[in-house]
Structure formats: C-alpha cells, structure tokens
Amino acid sequence: MRIALVQQNIVQHSNGNDLEANLNRSLDLVRQAAAEGAELVLLQELHRSLYFCQTEDTSVFDLAEPIPGPSSERLGALARELNIVIVGSLFEKRAAGLYHNTAVVLERDGTLAGIYRKMHIPDDPGFYEKFYFTPGDATFNDGHSGFTPIQTSVGKLGVLVCWDQWYPEAARLMALAGAELLLYPTAIGWDRNDDDAEQQRQLDAWITVQRAHGVANGLPVLVANRTGFETSPHGGDGIQFWGNSFVCGPQGEFLARAGSDEETVLVVDVDTRRSEAVRRIWPYLRDRRVDAYGDLSKRYRD
C-alpha cells in the first residue's frame, strides 16, 4: 500500500492564527500525496492552527469545533474526491467546557470512519495540554476500549496521538485489538535553550521508542510531525518543531524519513503482508505471560 505523511509548516501572523490558510495548505498537500499514488494520508497533530498549548488562554477554546463539523466535512469531501483515506487531527468541542484532541479518519467515500480522542495528556512547560484537553474515554458505552482500531478500506488503523507515542501500553492494546498499522499525528519540538547534545538525545529517544513499538508488535509505524519555529503568543521562548516524520516496518526498519526543517510530503510503499511473516518468526503475542501482568493496571507497585 502506498501511504503518505504530511509534515507541514504552520502559517502564523502577527495577529495569530490563520485557520483557513492552514487547512487549505493541508488539503493542497494531501492532493500532492494523492497525485503520487497515496491511498492513505496522515496529517500532523492540530494541523489547522499554531500549537496553542504553549500558554494557557481561555480565548483559545474558540478554535475548537464539533465533529462532525466544518473541518471534518472538508476532509471528507477531499477523501471522496480523491478516493483515499485521510487521517486528520482536530481540536474537538464535544460540549461546553469539554474539549478533546481528536484524530478523525475519513473513508474513501467521504464518510467519517471513526475518531480517536487522545488518551495521554501532557502538562509540561510549553505543552500545557491538560488545560485544554480532556483525556479520551477509557471505555465507551458499547464496552469497547478507547484503544480500538478504526476499520477502513485500507485496513484497521491503530490511531494514537503524540504523547501516546511514549506509552508501550497504548501501542500494545491497539495491536491486541487487531490494528494493522500504528499511526501517530504529532507536534513535538525542542526548547531552543537546550544544548545540541540534549536536543539530539530527545530526538533519538522519540524515534527509538516508536520504532520499538513497531518491533514489539510486528507492525508498521507511521509518524507525522510538524516542522518550523512557532512563537509563543505571550512572549515565551517558542518551540522549534523537529520534523523527522518517518515510516518504519515491523522490525523497526526505516522505510522513509523526512528532514528536520522542511515542509514535505513523504510518500512510501508499505508491504502490509510483512507483518504476518515477521510475527511468525518473532511470536511475541504467543509468548506473552498474560497471567503475570496484573500489576500493569496499578499506578505503581509499592
């Protein structure tokens, strides 16, 4: 299957966000990916706007929208026009005072195949996401887990979001539920006050942990990160997003990787049959000691 990742440089003006320009740019880059034969296109986290979580500001909630809503409908119309599957990332208004960081999956016919609400929410300097986002539901009314793949015409997509990518439990639960690909729309970058060595350690850790999810679960991993420098709206240091979007195979092997400071559409062919072949020689799911893992449901084992 030919897939594409969109690594986008977000438009910013002195008066703030240009939501229309950024969404239009996302759609243009999806068109470019489809022109190169992509059947599945993954956009980066919160691609409509600047990364607004650098500060806490109640006026920012005005950026949120319902799902289904205007942006998901435009993504769906493009998916239908191009006959592809699109994974987008939106700031969802679920109800007054209840907001989520939500990935949407649009099917080839333009319908909403499913959504995933980010489960792990960070709260660090420059990444004040707990102020804005409610964690996704652990279980839904029909009993299925928040870590449930979304069935599409190109396979069962294990969609997770950014901070989720550091948690092996999230990737494992998606794999156990039958995910055929792991997808991570992302917004992560450097504090420019950190020295070069620290920046390199952070980037290496980010890449390594996600490749390890591919190895541990015998699945391809798709990671779309944003790029470029985004200033902080209230005079902070800003964030240099580090790009490096990549695709790796079920043994963690790089299939494609973008640079750190360039907007790009990364297109690559993924052999979806390799996962079964790899799992036959590395049968991690067979050898799991599920009878001994009860303590994983605890916060800490005292």
Label residue 233 by pLDDT band (50, 70, 90).
confident
Strands 246-248 and 221-225: what pairing? Answer: antiparallel
Separation CA 71–CA 107 (nearest Å): 15
Instruction: State yes or no: pLDDT of 16 exceeds 70.
Output: no
Separation CA 59–CA 213 (nearest Å): 37
162 is catalytic: yes
CA neighbor of 109 nearest in space, from 88, 79, 71: 79
| Residue 275, pLDDT score | 97
Q: What percent of the chain has pLDDT over 90?
A: 90
Q: Is the pLDDT score of 55 beyond 70?
A: yes
Active-site residue, selected from the candidate residues 118, 129, 180, 230? 118
Res 11: pLDDT: 83
Pairing verdict, β 85-95 and 40-42: parallel
Does residue 113 carry a pLDDT above 80?
Answer: yes
| 3-state DSSP assignment of residue 126 | coil
Of residues 53, 129, 162, 230, which has the active-site annotation?
A: 162
Give me the pLDDT at residue 141, please.
74
DSSP labels, 27-54: HHHHHHHHHTT-SEEEPPTTTTS--GGG
76: left (phi over 0), alpha (psi -120 to 50) or beta: alpha
Amino acid letter at 241? F
Regarding beta strands 246-248 and 254-257, do their DSSP bridges make them parallel or antiparallel, or are they unpaired?
A: antiparallel
Instruction: Calculate mean pLDDT across residues 173-191.
Output: 97
Using one digit for the tens of pLDDT, what is the confidence trace for 238-287? 999 999 999 999 999 999 999 999 999 999 999 999 999 999 999 999 99
What's the average model confidence in pLDDT over 190-219?
A: 96
> To 10 degrees, the CA torsion angle through 200, 202, 207, 210?
170
pLDDT band at 25; cut points 50, 70, 90: very high
Tokens read off for 29: 């880059």
Over 80: is that where the pLDDT of 15 sits?
A: no
Q: In the annotation, is 93 catalytic?
A: no
Determine whether 45 is an active site residue. Answer: yes
- Residue whose C-alpha is closest to residue 245's, from 2, 73, 6: 6
- Of 10-24, 167-181, 288-302, least confident by mean pLDDT is 10-24
- Give yes or no for a contact between 149 and 177, defined as CB atoms under 8 angstroms apart: yes
Its CATH class, for the domain covering 2-287, is alpha beta
The model's pLDDT over 58-90, given as tens digits with 9 standing for 90+, comes to 999 999 999 999 999 999 999 999 999 999 999
Cβ contact 196:165 at 8 Å: no
Active-site residue among 39, 45, 92, 107? Answer: 45
Stretch (H or E) spanning 20: helix 19-35
pLDDT above 90: residue 2: yes
Higher-confidence residue of 3 and 234: namely: 3
pLDDT band at residue 14 using 50, 70 and 90 as cut-offs: low
Average pLDDT of the residues of the chain: 95
Cα 162 to its chain centre, rounded Å, is: 5
